[in-house]
Amino acid sequence: MRTGAEYREALRDGRVVYVMGEGRIDDVTMHPATKAVVEEYVAWHDRHHDPDWAETLLRRDGVPWAFTVPQGTSDLLGMGRSYAKTCFLSAGNITHDPAYGHLIAMGIKNAVAIHNAGSEHSERAEAYRAMIAKGERFLTFSSGSAPIGYRMRPDPATRAAVKLVRETDKGIVVSGRVGMHTSPCYAEDIYVGALCGLQVQGHPASFVVEVAAKGITVLCRKIAPRDPNPFLAPLSNRFDELDGQLWLDEVLIPWEHVFFTDVNLEPVARWLMWHHLYGWGARAEFSLGVALAVSDAMGLKENDATIEYLIDLTASVQTIRACQLAAAHEPEPTIIGYAAPNHAHVMAGGVTLFKTRQQISEILRIVPGSSLVVAPSDSDLATPSLAAGLEEAFAGGGYTAAQRAALLQLAWDHASSGLDGRESAFELHASGGMPSWRGRLRQSFADYNNLANAVLKQIDCDMPTIDLGNIPARAMAPRRVNAPPLVPGAGDKK
């Protein structure tokens, strides 16, 4: 597995990256808008060489859990533990990393096998997964859906994100623009899913494109507004994984990176929801950690009302933990022989967390009291005319004013900052939001007919046998369709 320095060096590959509001980024490893997150990914790689982390991140045979192909419960538990521990290090803000990339690659292999276009396609997908498993490339994920401008085009035939320009003996040449996905400026490869609308040789096609490939432009969103002072913004200064769009201008995709799959993305995302829930779980655990620390720092750990708030948070965290454990202990087989976490348990956890997210943030704003709002910064504490007064106002109970203020600023940055707002907005869409998680639960719940017919046994008369197979069989709710304005004049009566 490569070192962090090797990863950093790999990003200097001539990629064309823009950050909205910042212009063109010549070198993502150096630019203030991107450098901090690059260093987080550098640390991710180096952590795998750190003996203190070996027990958490490596199997007994030395293979990182990040690149393990799960065969059963013990593998899923090991992988899950490594995700939980690493996601916590960014307070759940860095959700896309090379481990996630390997889960994408597993999903590609799964989706290709399900589509079943031929053995050479399965071999191609496995070759790509095996390459990712060497830990030499960071892959991220795009569903392939089009940005809003494409979806508003008058001609439905032009609303797809990507169009095939031509086929060659080396691959396909494509052009287009692909909507929101995460960390493209830090990744080396991007998987573009079959929602891109591409058809090749009669098959829906997805593909992997190199970020540095000729004809690629990465357009990242504006950075989350943040104070430049790490004392005031200990999280948002470091953990803003930028989301972005991808523009493709006659980009050659070699055949070995073209994957025929169904348009349905669920087989690709088979392991991704599980990772998402670990990310959300890490964020919830971080919120609980901050609330606990603040209850100590504010002298509230004996306060009954505060403890009830803490138990509210604990119940949410513990429910997610239980769902994740259950998912690993009752794995499901896949067509490619890999163990997958039980979707029904994962979905139950996700739906629970979707319901409690805002309450978790609000509790973290409640527990510290109004000191959260008026806490000073380190520069205020260093101002001679203020120092004594601020020390008097904020010190005491085993904490200096600087310590207490630093903790309050951490809480603020976690639950009231632009980074917090971005995380919430992103997760409401990234994996389909609540509607999709509910849809996946609907599809994965297995006992419709069992339960419906079981209750009929309480009735003392013959009853028709019930068949509710349609409920799980229903497709996920279709993506929202944007209605382009009518063409002026079209349909007018003359």
Partner 1 sequence: MRTGAEYKTALQDGRKVVVMGGGEIEDVTTHPATASMVEQYVAWYDRHRDPDWAETLVSPSGTPWAFILPRTVDEVVAAGRAISKTIFLSAGNITHTPHYGHLIAMGVLVAAETRNAGPQHAKNAEVYRREIVRDQRFVTFCGGAAIIGQRLQPNPADRVSVKIVRETDKGMIVKGRLGMHTSPAYAEEVYVGHLTGLRIDGHPVGFIVPVGAPGVTTLCRRQATRESSPFMAPLSSRYDELDGQMWLDDVFVPWERVFAVDPAPEAIPRWLRWHHLYGWLAKAEFTLGLCLALSDAMGLKEHDATIEYLVDAIAEVQTVRSCITAAEHDPEYTPTGYCVPNHAHLAAGGISLFKARQRLSELLRIIPGSSLVVAPGDSDLAIPELAEGLEESFSGGGYSARQRAALLQLAWDHVSSALDGRESAFELHASGGLPGWRHWLRRSFKDYNELANAVLGFVPVDMPAVDVTGIGTAMPAARRAVTPPRK
Of 69 and 277, CB closest to partner 1: 277
Question: Rule CB under 8 A: is residue 87 a binding residue for partner 1?
Answer: no
At residue 424, the 3 state secondary structure works out as helix
CB 303 within 8 A of CB 335: no
Contacts of partner 1 in 337-356 (CB under 8 A)? 344-345, 347-349, 351-352
Contacts of partner 1 in 266-295 (CB under 8 A)? 285-286, 288-290, 292-293, 295
Of 385 and 450, CB closest to partner 1: 450
H or E stretch covering 166: strand 162-167
Question: Rule CB under 8 A: is residue 329 a binding residue for partner 1?
Answer: yes
Of 134 and 329, CB closest to partner 1: 329
Out of 9, 13, 250, 330, name the contact with partner 1 by CB under 8 A.
330
Tokens, residue 321: 């933990």
Cα 282 to chain center, whole Å?
Answer: 12
CB 209 within 8 A of CB 175: no
Contacts of partner 1 in 362-401 (CB under 8 A)? 378, 398-399
Question: Rule CB under 8 A: is residue 205 a binding residue for partner 1?
Answer: no
Question: Rule CB under 8 A: is residue 473 a binding residue for partner 1?
Answer: no
- CB atoms under 10 Å from CB of 356, counted, come to 20
Out of 296, 332, 380, 391, name the contact with partner 1 by CB under 8 A.
296
Out of 61, 155, 169, 460, name the contact with partner 1 by CB under 8 A.
460
CB 327 within 8 A of CB 345: yes
Of 65 and 286, CB closest to partner 1: 286
Question: Rule CB under 8 A: is residue 297 a binding residue for partner 1?
Answer: yes
Shortest Cβ 170–partner 1 spacing (Å):
47
The size of the chain, in residues, is 494
Beta strands in 168-265 (DSSP E): 171-182, 189-192, 199-200, 203-210, 216-220, 243-254, 258-260
Contacts of partner 1 in 396-425 (CB under 8 A)? 398-399, 402-403, 406-407, 409-410
Out of 305, 382, 451, 473, name the contact with partner 1 by CB under 8 A.
451
Of 166 and 329, CB closest to partner 1: 329
Size of site (CB under 8 A) for partner 1: 77
Tokens, residue 119: 């053995």
Radius of gyration for the chain, computed over Cα atoms and rounded to the nearest angstrom: 25
Question: Rule CB under 8 A: is residue 255 a binding residue for partner 1?
Answer: no
Question: Rule CB under 8 A: is residue 79 a binding residue for partner 1?
Answer: no
Q: What is the Cα–Cα distance from 48 to 57, expressed in whole angstroms? A: 6
Shortest Cβ 83–partner 1 spacing (Å):
16
Out of 30, 127, 315, 425, name the contact with partner 1 by CB under 8 A.
315
Q: What is the Cα–Cα distance from 55 to 72, expressed in whole angstroms? A: 19
Contacts of partner 1 in 218-247 (CB under 8 A)? 230-231, 234-235
H or E stretch covering 25: strand 23-25
Tally helices (H) and strands (E) across the chain.
18, 13
Q: What is the Cα–Cα distance from 394 to 379, expressed in whole angstroms? A: 15
Shortest Cβ 48–partner 1 spacing (Å):
19
